[in-house]
């Protein structure tokens, strides 16, 4: 269950912090420890303010999907766990050619209120592994292909909600 909670929390946080800012306070109130909530919301607001291009993309109908490609349980006690996740993010939009990013995210969870809550979630400063070859057929702007091929799909989350 520690993996499921970390997978869900990292993917949802990554996918929604900019794409759906109105859900951020509810998400943070639900899955973060009380001590981490205020700083997490402030960090999310700073990220949105600093990323003008992506915020414009989302306002124009752009989309993002986050996936957990792999993860590792680094430390565990019955009261605390630390998980490192390999996070892939994919963004595209009407005027934005699809792109991807890869990060390593360290999440510390604490067992509170009979469930795992996020005490901290930090993107590591070291570069994450990135797929070195991506094949693209024809026109490099595949936003239409993304929209058509992924119509009706939502990102799966991995157990805990």
pLDDT 10s digits, 107-138? 999 999 899 999 999 998 887 888 766 665 55
The predicted structure's pLDDT at residue 104 = 92
- Cα dihedral: 135, 138, 140, 143 (round 10): -100
Which is more confidently placed, 138 or 90? 90
Closest listed residue to residue 47, CA positions, set 35, 71, 64: 64
Q: What is the mean pLDDT of the chain?
A: 86
What pLDDT score was predicted for residue 11?
Answer: 93
Between residues 130 and 64, which one has the greater pLDDT? 64
pLDDT at 4: 84
User: In the chain, what is the straight-line distance between the N-terminal and C-terminal CA atoms, in Å?
Assistant: 11
**Residue among 78, 102, 73, 74 at smallest CA distance from 90:** 102
**Mean local confidence (pLDDT), 76-87:** 94
Backbone torsions φ then ψ of 139, nearest 5 degrees = -55, 135
Strands (E), the chain: 63-77, 80-93, 96-112, 115-123
Structure tokens at 33: 């420890």
**Structural domains of the chain sorted by starting position, each given as residue range(s) with its CATH number in brackets:** 2-149 (3.10.450)
- Report pLDDT for 141: 60
Q: How confident is the model at residue 98 (pLDDT cuts 50, 70, 90)?
A: confident
Please give the average per-residue pLDDT across 87-111, as a whole number. 92
- Mean of pLDDT values over 25-49: 96
43: helix, strand or coil? helix
Query: Residue 26: pLDDT above 70?
Result: yes
Which of the 8 DSSP states describes residue 66?
E
Query: What single-letter DSSP state applies at residue 32?
Result: B
Give the C-alpha distances (Å, rounded to integers) separating 86 from 17, 53, 68, 117, 124.
18, 24, 6, 19, 10
The answer to whether residue 158 scores a pLDDT higher than 80 is no
- Quote the pLDDT of residue 5: 87
What is the per-residue pLDDT for 125?
Answer: 84
Q: What is the dihedral of CA 130, 138, 141, 134, to 10 degrees?
A: 0
């Amino acid at each position: 269950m520690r993996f499921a909670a970390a997978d869900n929390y990292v993917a949802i946080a990554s996918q929604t912090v900019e794409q759906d800012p109105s859900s951020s306070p509810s998400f943070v109130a639900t899955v973060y420890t009380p001590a981490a909530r205020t700083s997490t919301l402030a960090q999310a607001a700073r990220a949105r303010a600093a990323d003008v291009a992506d915020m414009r993309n989302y306002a124009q109908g752009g989309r993002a999907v986050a996936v957990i490609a792999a993860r590792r349980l680094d430390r565990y006690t019955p009261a605390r766990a630390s998980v490192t996740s390999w996070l892939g993010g994919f963004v595209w939009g009407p005027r934005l050619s699809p792109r991807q990013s890869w990060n390593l995210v360290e999440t510390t969870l604490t067992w509170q209120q009979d469930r795992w809550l996020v005490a901290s979630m930090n993107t590591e400063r070291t570069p994450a592994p990135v797929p070195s070859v991506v094949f693209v057929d024809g026109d490099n702007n595949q936003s239409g292909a993304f929209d058509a091929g992924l119509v009706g799909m939502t990102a799966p989350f991995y157990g805990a909600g």
